[in-house]
Amino acid sequence: MIELARISEISFSLKPLLMLGALIFLAYAEIHFRYPHLPSLIFRKEPEILFDLPLRSLHGEEVLLFLLVKDADRFPVTLIDGTVSVSADATGALRTFDFSLNQSVQNHFFAHTLKLPPDLFPHGGKYRLTVRLRYQTGNGKIRELEQDNYPLPKREPFLIYLSEEPLPTFPGWYWGDLHVHSNFTEDQVEFGAPIRETVLAARNMGLHFVAITDHSYDLDDLPNDYTRNDPQLRKWHQFRQEIEQIQREFPDFVIIPGEEVSVGNHRGQNVHCLVLNDPQFHPGSGDGAEHLLRNRPTMSLDELFRRKHPDALIIAAHPVEKPPLSQQKILNRGIWELPDVENHPLNALQILNGMFRHDSFFCGLAQWKILLHSGRKIGIVAGNDAHGNFNIFRQVKTPFLTLHSHRQHLLGKMRTAVFSENLSLPAVLTALKKNRSVISDGPLAILTVQGERSATIGEQIHWPGHGAIRIRAKSTAEYGFWRKIVLYLGDRKTALEHHLELEIDKNSLEIEREISLPDSPVRYIRLEGSTIRNSEKHYCYTNPIWFHTDE
């Protein structure tokens, strides 16, 4: 989310200058800071006020609409009333919902949830929402906003799909987002939504778990003062305590405490790790732009793995998503190269980060295949790197001048499904450690080996010699009919994958097939599948089932 109103309270801050340098080269759209004596056309003497809502929900249930206000402690505001306008994509029929607030806000962060009644949405399918709000600023002026008070060139409607069915699943499978930022990620350049509202949005859209992975270089700041570090780590402790408190409030949902740690790769460049469920804080400020010309990693990958807790998981975050040249030079950011992933016991690679079929996804997929062919048993997971963006990502286009919006890196848009004994933190973490997971933006495809020796995704068994591969795939009207399901078999002797495309009815939402195991042993088997609804395609990739032999 965009930080518009913050002005530095110290005479000279290095971080915004460094970030500005990174922005000038390629207009990197994450600066939300006004530096003293530099003009800004996007600065406003009022708090950031914005609405947001999930991408999807179930038809017949209340839709949650979130009103978020930031920096009202600096710029007090009174929220008066507003109107929600709803139109169906298909018919264009307009329905409205009026609400009254009369709420004075002077908090640093303020959140309010509006529950939109089901009768606003008479049938399933896509809807467009526009929200208008009247508010009074500290100088007594009455203003009106639409969607938010950012100076965007145009306003896009919120889009939500109301499904007649839950997300596609099979017994024991649960959906989640493993890379999410909250308002504990807060500095001169970005901020996220509060944890409670993030959980409410995730539950409303049908997810079962999220990992809250705020930046290491933000979690060591003083609470509500991102210009100074805190040796006592009060913000980090507050972060952990808040997760525990919200977890007790929602026992039917799993919140994985995490941290996005900046560490050094083999070239001494900053790369990011998702460290999940570690009871200790890991410092990492090399690319936090907190000190002039000090962009060396705080610690190396070797050091991180030496100090991590035995129960923690470490995932390579967006491993081959190449940073802009400006970030490479100024923030010393790099990518995960083969020596980094080959020489460290990572639990998984987060190759899917907010966008499917992107160059970084295909490069990550290729890197993963190299590891599989070498005999490495490592999985893939998905996340969105969402900084509170539930429905629309609003960001800076030209520093201090213009903003724009898009619909990528949104909460829960890309998902990880895990096969877990139950929906609890220990069980979900165990499933992730054992690579019992798939990545998808909608449909679900899974495979098992059946016979004298049976196995499911993520497991390794002795080559059974004979038996069957059972393939099951499920979609819904939301994601469309299955168009392709491909079984991949890793050759034991060469760095090749053989593939078998299944013959399927392309007007089917559910597929079930059994095929015989090949005569010769293979290293692993895995699935890729895709569906199509109108012209929109959706994808699913499984982790492998591995085999070993006596050879």
Q: 415-419 and 125-137 as β-strands: parallel, antiparallel, unpaired?
A: unpaired
pLDDT digits (tens, 9 = 90+) for 76-90: 999 999 999 999 976
Between 325 and 255, residue with greater pLDDT: 255
Residue 67: inside a domain, yes or no? Answer: yes
Confidence of residue 44 (pLDDT cuts 50, 70, 90): confident
Do 428 and 288 have their domain in common? yes
CB atoms within 10 A of CB 58: 18
Q: Is the pLDDT of residue 33 over 60?
A: no
Boundary-marking domain end, from 400, 433, 466: 433
Closest CA to 173 of 510, 465, 457: 457
Do 413 and 458 have their domain in common? no
Residue 1: inside a domain, yes or no? Answer: no
Do 158 and 119 have their domain in common? yes
**pTM for the full model?**
0.93
Number of domains within the chain:
2
pLDDT digits (tens, 9 = 90+) for 274-310: 999 999 999 999 888 777 678 999 999 999 999 999 9
- Domain that includes residue 361, residue range: 6-433
Q: What CATH number should be reported for the domain holding residue 13?
A: 3.20.20.140
Q: How far is CA 355 from CA 396, 406, 512, in A?
A: 19, 12, 28
Mean per-residue pLDDT, 3-29? 40
pLDDT digits (tens, 9 = 90+) for 381-437: 999 999 989 999 887 666 666 777 789 999 999 999 999 999 999 999 999 999 999
The encoded tokens of residue 155 equal: 């306003």
pLDDT digits (tens, 9 = 90+) for 457-482: 999 999 988 899 999 999 999 999 99
Q: In what order do the strands lie in the sheet with 109-116?
A: 48-52, 63-70, 109-116
Do 529 and 417 have their domain in common? no
The pLDDT, as a whole number, for residue 399 is: 60
* Whole-number Å distance between alpha carbons of 84 and 86: 6
Do 39 and 140 have their domain in common? yes
* Whole-number Å distance between alpha carbons of 469 and 203: 33
Between 2 and 107, residue with greater pLDDT: 107
Do 304 and 231 have their domain in common? yes
Do 243 and 321 have their domain in common? yes
Do 429 and 448 have their domain in common? no
